[in-house]
Amino acid sequence: MKTPAERAAELHDLLHEHSHRYYVLDDPSVSDAEYDSLFRELQVLESEHPELLTPDSPTQRVGAAPQEGFGTVRHAAPMLSLANAFSQEELGEFDRRVRERLERDDAPVCYVAEPKIDGLAISLRYENGVFVQGATRGDGQSGENVTDNLRTIDMIPLRLRTDDPPAVFEARGEVFMSHQAFRALNESMSAAGKAAFVNPRNAAAGSLRQLDSRKTAQRRLSINLYGLGELQGMEIPATQMQVLQMLQEVGFPVNREIRLCEGIDACFAFYEAILQRRATLGYDIDGVVFKVDSLAEQRELGFVSRAPRWAIAQKFPAEEATTTIDSVEFQVGRTGALTPVARLAPVFVGGVTVSNATLHNMDEIGRKDIRIGDTVVVRRAGDVIPEVARVILDKRRRGARRIKLPRTCPVCGSPVINADDEVKARCTGGLQCAAQRREAIKHFASRRAMDIDGLGDKLVEQLADAGLIETVADLYTLEAAQLQSLPRMGEKSASNLIDAIDASRETTLARFIFALGIRDIGESGAALLAAQFGSLDALMQADEAELTSIDDIGPIAASSIRAFFANPDNRAVVDALLASGIRFPTTDSVHTVSSLAGNTYVLTGTLAAFSRDEAKQRLQRRGAKVSGSVSGKTTAVFAGESPGSKVTRAESLGVPVLDEAALLELIGSPDE
Ligand code: D41
């Protein structure tokens, strides 16, 4: 029989281990119910034997009683600041200075590239392996004592995972809030009638500075560690990569995107690559920090004022900027949907000058209370279309005008309808509307549709402006001589375009159906229809019952298909296309493109050949469904490198777990 002290120690170990696996490794080893039962057992034990309750007990994450204010903590080792580089040239100069001081001549320096997490810098202090104090960075010399609040963050170990803890161990890192946690928090804030946080950084700051740590415990904060502070009773590693490795070994979460870059060109490449993936990371980063890997070289380089000469932050272009709305126009899309677009006083944001921003739809305008003449914050994140994020109400002038939905289409004058069950109003003109025709042509020519090489959106606009094409069918009667009348169109490019159009005549049924631009029919819907009906005739003759009998074709899509083919203008275009020689020679296409219909896959971990998004698209193009979570209906899980808990879940459900090679068998390698 164990003594209460022995059982408490055992429960500590079990609960620490489980929460490390759950929060840090994302790889749970027990069910929530088992965890809860161990947790309650410890709570009971501690209430019966108060002397067993220690600050590093797993029960102490729930928050403590409110404080009057935060005390001040002097950092044993100062928390340095970071110099910024705003361009590739400045980063190049940083590297030149480093090499000069290290007398490296042309030999490349090894740098560690770390995403610069947009949160709050903090320091965690462990004495004899136990978490005793946590503080904000403050001015770098001293910060606020936020120990109670930090203790509620599940990712922070309350005890170091080592048998031989050093006397003093300080870890430095960044507290932040994931996009997911931020959205959930703001939903519950607005449900409670409270003002939402503007961005995840503010939400993290607000949560960490709560005087009532029980409130902090309700917020899902995350943390990544990247450095060391004071260290006593243990050797300092030789490189930054080893520092990160050690942090991970003693139980801290370390960012998984961090890479070693040999030489400055590898640093440029890292920056570009992470900038591209910025929106898919699930948390905000505002740049990349580059650090000289060797700690001996770091010491040799030293500091200027309070910034190390061995590190630099290359900042991303700001994603938000303030400007004014001059006017609002309504753009008509391929299916007639009206999108309100704000014309702005030009402003530099996200690395480019922006003069238009989408307002999405009338509901959104109402929600954000946007008016013409308003001063607004525009946001351009990655490749997404710039949008008006919010109005600065303090700056609203008296003349600001409300935005009204037009009753008729601004392009063709047809009536605009605004169905109750749809967010967007629509022009009813169909192919009678020049805007709808143009958008239909752009879609038709696009890569995933007919894939007409060289026929991009701009050229479609030019061809339409010149009166050379009205509908997609006109593409196939174009002649090289006509094209040469266009600006910047020489003999060679004209004949290339004609060749590309010619080549598109031979296509697959799935691509053709997708290219028609039927409302509610995307790429995978088109693939399903092609597989099911095998010919365009069969599809055109199908009634709603036949259409809805297909898995994944619902009543809305079915009625859109019927409406499309019932429209005489559309029928005329389809007939003209077929008459101009469009053919679907490969039944093979129907076969491979839809061969995965009815299957549901889950992707996890990092793939070598593809991004997860690309792999997903390829699976969908073949008719498969790709889901974010594993269930009994999952056909298989494809696991890349360092997969998460999805693999465990798949195994427990008896769902097959396959590797990347098996995935490539299904979807081909990237160049196929
Ligand atoms: O991710 C970050 N925000 C981050 C911040 C990082 N990955 N590394 C950092 N490294 C340092 C030095 C090189 C000075 C140790 C930092 C910061 N500093 C930093 N954060 C706030 C001020 C300085």
Res. 619 pLDDT band, cuts 50 70 90: confident
Note the pLDDT tens digit of each residue in 59-80: 988 887 778 889 999 999 999 9
CATH topology of domain 319-417: OB fold (Dihydrolipoamide Acetyltransferase, E2P) (2.40.50)
The pLDDT assigned to 47 comes to 92
Note the pLDDT tens digit of each residue in 193-246: 888 887 899 999 999 999 999 999 889 999 999 999 999 999 999 999 999 999
- The CATH code for residues 110-315 is 3.30.470.30
Assess whether pLDDT exceeds 70 at residue 586. Answer: no
Phi and psi dihedrals of 356, rounded to 5?
-130, 145
How many Cα atoms occupy the beta-carbon half-sphere of 41 within 13 Å?
Answer: 16
Q: What spacing in Å lies between the alpha carbon of 82 and ligand 1's midpoint?
A: 6
According to CATH, where is 1.10.287.610 located in the chain? 4-60
Which atom of ligand 1 is the closest one to the Cα of 140?
Answer: 22
Computed from CA positions of residues 541, 543, 548, 553, in that sequence, does the dihedral angle turn out positive or negative? positive
Assess whether pLDDT exceeds 90 at residue 668. Answer: no
Determine which residue's CA is closest to atom 14 belonging to ligand 1.
80
Averaged pLDDT, 75-98: 94
Tokens at 620, concatenated: 């969908």
Tokens at 391, concatenated: 């109005």
The pLDDT assigned to 594 comes to 57
The pLDDT assigned to 652 comes to 85
Place of tokens 């922070």: 156
Note the pLDDT tens digit of each residue in 548-561: 988 788 999 999 99
Residue 436 is given by DSSP the state H
> Taking all residues of the chain, what is their mean pLDDT, rounded to a whole number?
91
Angle at 480 between CA 479 and CA 485, to 5 degrees: 105
Q: What spacing in Å lies between the alpha carbon of 85 and ligand 1's midpoint?
A: 14
Assess whether pLDDT exceeds 70 at residue 671. Answer: no
- The CATH code for residues 429-503 is 1.10.150.20
The domain 4-60 is placed in CATH, from the list 1.10.287.610, 3.40.309.10, 3.30.530.20, 2.40.50.100, at: 1.10.287.610
According to CATH, where is 3.40.50.10190 located in the chain? 600-667
Question: Which residues fall within 8 angstroms of residue 62, CB to CB, at 6 or more apart?
Answer: 152, 214, 217
The pLDDT assigned to 587 comes to 52
Q: What spacing in Å lies between the alpha carbon of 259 and ligand 1's midpoint?
A: 15
Assess whether pLDDT exceeds 50 at residue 590. Answer: no
According to CATH, where is 1.10.150.20 located in the chain? 429-503, 509-579
The pLDDT assigned to 589 comes to 40
**509-579 belongs to which homologous superfamily?**
5' to 3' exonuclease, C-terminal subdomain (1.10.150.20)
Res. 305 pLDDT band, cuts 50 70 90: confident
Contact between 286 and 118 under an 8 Å Cβ cutoff? The reply is: yes
Which residues, in sequence order, are bridge partners of residue 173?
122, 225
How many Cα atoms occupy the beta-carbon half-sphere of 69 within 13 Å?
Answer: 4
Percent of residues, the chain, with pLDDT higher than 90: 70
Question: Which residues fall within 8 angstroms of residue 422, CB to CB, at 6 or more apart?
Answer: none
Determine which residue's CA is closest to atom 5 belonging to ligand 1.
116
Higher pLDDT, 116 or 305: 116
Q: Which residues are catalytic?
A: 116
Q: What spacing in Å lies between the alpha carbon of 286 and ligand 1's midpoint?
A: 12
pTM of the model: 0.61
Pocket test for ligand 1, best of 137, 174, 314 (most atoms within 8 A of CB): 174
Assess whether pLDDT exceeds 80 at residue 383. Answer: no
Quote helix, strand, coil % in the chain, to nearest 5: 40, 20, 40
Pocket of ligand 1 (CB under 6 A): 80-82, 114, 116-117, 121, 137, 174, 226-227, 289, 291, 308, 311
Tokens at 553, concatenated: 């074709």
Assess whether pLDDT exceeds 50 at residue 369. Answer: yes
Pocket test for ligand 1, best of 230, 239, 255, 289 (most atoms within 8 A of CB): 289
Q: What spacing in Å lies between the alpha carbon of 116 and ligand 1's midpoint?
A: 7
The pLDDT assigned to 625 comes to 86
The pLDDT assigned to 588 comes to 37
Contact between 18 and 27 under an 8 Å Cβ cutoff? The reply is: no
- The CATH code for residues 600-667 is 3.40.50.10190
Pocket test for ligand 1, best of 80, 81, 82 (most atoms within 8 A of CB): 82
Note the pLDDT tens digit of each residue in 141-184: 999 999 999 999 999 999 999 999 999 999 999 999 999 999 99
Res. 30 pLDDT band, cuts 50 70 90: confident
Determine which residue's CA is closest to atom 20 belonging to ligand 1.
121
Tokens at 601, concatenated: 């896959």
Task: Determine how many CB atoms are found less than 10 A away from the CB of residue 70.
Answer: 17
Q: What spacing in Å lies between the alpha carbon of 114 and ligand 1's midpoint?
A: 9
Q: What is the DSSP string of 593-635?
A: HTTTTT-EEEEESB-SSS-HHHHHHHHHHTT-EEESS--TT--
User: How many whole angstroms separate alpha carbon 310 and alpha carbon 295?
Assistant: 9
